[in-house]
């Protein structure tokens, strides 16, 4: 039985490639499959080439998968621009537009021989059945449904839902295009058919993406204000909140720029409201000064950074994990700023709630390091059980505190009661200058040292919070994997594959990236002889961050690469095999008799 099916498609803007992918994953969701869809665009964001890949399975889907089982190319120039994002190998069935004029024996795939190649007159079929080239994506859905066993009823229901508001005529045209594709596939069967049997049981599921779930979690956590500015690939957070937060008494301000956006969020939090902003790397650079202000003024604030390719404007439409140093260290002075990272769409809900709780508990800015893949990919996930979450609120001053209110009073745990404007007796100066307990400016070196200690030591409980980590595999495994963010799903599947191949491996995935929990890594690395830190960053930023605080075993290597170059679980396993051989060679060397 086939475990899963991975379908990748690419074409020009207007070909409806992403729309076809959304129809596929929606059909998978209604049929009870686990599924994931990623989408990718050219650097111009709009009007250029676009692609998507959909992976569905009866079992949970942890990542977009490796080489495609099915590749659909409406235009070879566009398809090839996505390179490693749409890899083809000897098991791939390639379907392409016959009008490209490329001979099936002469595909522009250097060094690769697909399992089967089919040229289909997709554009001609769309014009004949629906009267327009715009129905090419629907023809493709008909082909895929018949050739690969994707339930037609579910796809047709999705087509109706998508087009019924535009009129029955358009619905019927797309139905005809779908039937044309299905009929063609039936009359021209593949030599290598592949399908995934329907799930035995259809549990209720959700189809959503990381940005929408982040925004929904913010509302659930009590967020009442969002201040921001649109930037790819984080804009959907603001769009969701604009539609929904007012229903819960909140407000959204789309500011004139990134600085004004975080400034407004800071002001809302100073005024007693839970607040958030969201951006990507270039926007976070602009927000840094006010993030520092939130640190010294001890103001709760959640900052979402949906990472994309950098530096500078970089690659706006591609995922990367290279903003870690920026998140942890982009501050002047001695600053500790908590950084959390989701590992999947579903995980984004919990991470966002935790970020608000940590911000309120410690009166601090907190960064959520999402990335383009998690933020914009769609996943079929289980319905979230919100009853398991506890929502925390900031520590307010009591009557005795307000008799002689000292906003920055030194306390045993470093957290001082925080008032808000209008609270009688709670006035204080919350500025960016160093201050005494009342908030009055000071240039005292002694007070500055005490305030630094207050602001930093209050995170001691967070540094030992093991609930923010996931560890899998045998405790005594000699091989280790460390990963975070969107690459964690790759490593979770690699862990399973490695076990099937007889390798003894364990995996740690942190939700809390910074400050570093030194104790949990010390215990995790005990007995480990070799392994990998896997991340999508040219410098291997997380590997370097760990080595700043943790005695990482010498056999642990950085396995990293720049964004837009995804990992395959199989190549992670191949690297683990190499590490296992290294251990064996070292063991053999110690047994060689010495002369």
Question: Which domains does the chain possess?
Answer: 4-187 (3.40.920.10), 207-388 (3.40.50.970), 395-463 (no CATH), 466-591 (3.40.50.920)
**Averaged pLDDT, 106-120:** 93
DSSP string, 153-191: HHHHHHHHHHHGGG-HHHHHHHHHHHHHHHHHHHHS--S
As beta bridge partners, residue 505 has 479
Using the predicted structure, report yes or no on whether residue 167 has a pLDDT greater than 90: no
The pLDDT of residue 149: 92
Percent of the chain with pLDDT over 70: 98
Task: For 187-237, write each residue's pLDDT tens digit.
Answer: 999 988 788 988 877 778 899 999 999 999 999 999 999 999 999 999 999
- pLDDT confidence bin for 147, thresholds 50/70/90: very high
Asked if residue 119 has pLDDT above 60, the reply is: yes
* DSSP helix/strand/coil, 427: coil
The whole-number pLDDT of residue 139 equals 96
Q: Is there a contact between 298 and 418 (Cβ–Cβ < 8 Å)?
A: yes
Residue 594: per-residue pLDDT: 55
pLDDT computed for residue 159 by the predictor: 87
Can you tell me the mean pLDDT for 160-172? Answer: 86
Mean pLDDT of the chain: 94
Confidence class for position 421, pLDDT limits 50, 70, 90? very high
> Span 229-251, mean pLDDT?
97
Radius of gyration for the alpha carbons in the chain, expressed in angstroms and rounded: 26
Predicted confidence (pLDDT) per residue in 257-294, tens digit: 999 999 999 999 999 999 999 999 999 999 999 999 99
Evaluate if residue 589 carries a pLDDT over 80.
no
pLDDT for residue 309 is more than 90: yes
Find the angle CA(432)-CA(436)-CA(440) to the nearest 5 degrees.
65
Q: Do the bridges between strand 469-473 and strand 116-120 make them parallel or antiparallel, or are there none, so unpaired?
A: unpaired
- Return the pLDDT at 110: 86
The confidence score (pLDDT) of residue 592 equals 54
What end-to-end distance do the CA atoms of the chain give, in Å? 56
Residue 1 has pLDDT above 70, yes or no: no
CB-count exposure of residue 396 (10 Å: 0-12, 13-18, 19+): middle
* The predicted structure's pLDDT at residue 199: 85
Give tens-digit pLDDT for 510-542.
999 999 999 999 999 999 999 999 999 999 999
Euclidean distance between CA atoms 501 and 403, whole angstroms: 68
**Residue 303 predicted with pLDDT over 80:** yes
Chain segment 333-371, per-residue pLDDT in tens: 999 999 999 999 999 999 999 999 999 999 999 999 999
pTM: 0.94
Query: In this structure, are residues 521 and 550 in contact, taking their beta carbons and an 8 Å threshold?
Result: yes
Cβ neighbours of residue 360 under 8 Å, at least 6 residues apart?
274, 300, 392, 393, 394
Does residue 529 come out as left (phi exceeding 0), alpha (psi in the -120 to 50 range) or beta? alpha
| Average confidence (pLDDT) over 104-123 | 93
Q: Quote the pLDDT of residue 591.
A: 64
Angle 442-443-447 from CA coordinates, rounded to 5°: 70
């Amino acid at each position: 039985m086939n475990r899963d099916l991975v379908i990748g498609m690419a074409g020009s803007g207007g070909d409806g490639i992403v729309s076809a992918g959304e129809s596929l994953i929606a059909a998978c969701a209604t049929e009870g499959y686990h599924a994931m869809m990623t989408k990718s665009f050219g650097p111009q964001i709009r009007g250029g080439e676009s692609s998507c890949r959909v992976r569905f399975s009866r079992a949970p889907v942890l990542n977009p998968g490796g080489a495609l089982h099915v590749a659909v190319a409406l235009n070879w120039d566009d398809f090839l621009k996505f390179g490693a994002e749409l890899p083809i190998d000897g098991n791939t069935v390639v379907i392409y537009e016959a009008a490209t004029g490329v001979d099936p024996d002469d595909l522009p795939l250097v060094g690769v021989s697909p399992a089967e190649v089919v040229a289909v007159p997709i554009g001609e079929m769309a014009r004949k059945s629906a009267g327009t080239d715009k129905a090419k994506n629907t023809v493709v859905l008909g082909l895929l449904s018949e050739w690969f066993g994707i339930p037609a009823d579910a796809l047709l229901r999705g087509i109706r839902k998508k087009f019924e508001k535009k009129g029955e005529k358009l619905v019927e045209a797309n139905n005809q295009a779908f039937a044309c594709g299905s009929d063609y596939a039936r009359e021209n069967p593949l030599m290598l058919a592949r399908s995934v049997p329907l799930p035995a049981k259809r549990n209720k599921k959700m189809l959503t993406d990381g940005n929408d779930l982040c925004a929904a979690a913010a509302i659930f956590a009590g967020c009442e204000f969002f201040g921001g500015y649109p930037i790819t690939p984080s804009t959907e957070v603001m769009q969701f909140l604009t539609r929904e937060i007012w229903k819960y008494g909140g407000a959204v301000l789309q500011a004139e720029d990134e600085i004004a956006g975080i400034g407004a969020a800071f002001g809302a939090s100073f005024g007693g409201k839970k607040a958030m902003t969201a951006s990507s790397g270039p926007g976070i650079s602009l927000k840094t000064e006010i993030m520092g202000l939130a640190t010294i003024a001890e103001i709760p604030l959640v900052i979402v950074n949906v990472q994309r390719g950098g530096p500078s404007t970089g690659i706006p439409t591609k995922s990367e994990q290279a903003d870690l140093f920026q998140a942890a260290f982009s501050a002047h002075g001695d600053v500790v700023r908590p950084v959390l990272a989701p590992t999947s769409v579903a995980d984004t809900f919990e991470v966002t709630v935790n970020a608000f709780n940590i911000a309120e508990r410690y009166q601090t800015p907190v960064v959520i390091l999402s990335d383009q893949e998690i933020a914009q990919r769609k996943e079929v996930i289980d319905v979230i059980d919100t009853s398991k979450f506890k929502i925390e609120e900031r520590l307010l001053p009591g009557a005795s505190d307000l008799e002689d209110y000292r906003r920055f009073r030194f306390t045993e745990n470093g957290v001082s009661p925080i008032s808000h404007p209008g609270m009688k007796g709670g006035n204080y100066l919350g500025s960016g200058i160093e201050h005494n307990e009342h908030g009055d400016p000071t240039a005292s070196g002694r007070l500055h040292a005490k305030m630094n200690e207050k602001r930093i030591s209050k995170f001691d409980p967070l540094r030992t919070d093991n609930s923010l980590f996931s560890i899998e595999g045998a405790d005594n495994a000699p091989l280790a994997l460390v990963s975070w963010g969107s690459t964690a799903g790759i490593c979770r599947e690699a862990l399973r594959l490695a076990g099937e191949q007889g390798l003894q491996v364990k995996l740690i995935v942190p939700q809390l990236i910074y400050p570093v929990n030194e104790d949990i890594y010390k215990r995790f690395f005990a007995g480990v002889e070799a392994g990998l830190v896997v991340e999508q960053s040219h410098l291997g930023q997380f590997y370097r961050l760990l080595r700043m605080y943790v005695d990482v075993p010498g056999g642990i290597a950085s396995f990293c690469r720049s964004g837009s170059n995804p990992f395959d679980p199989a190549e992670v396993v191949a690297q683990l095999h190499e590490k296992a051989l290294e251990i064996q060679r070292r063991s053999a060397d110690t047994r060689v008799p010495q002369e």
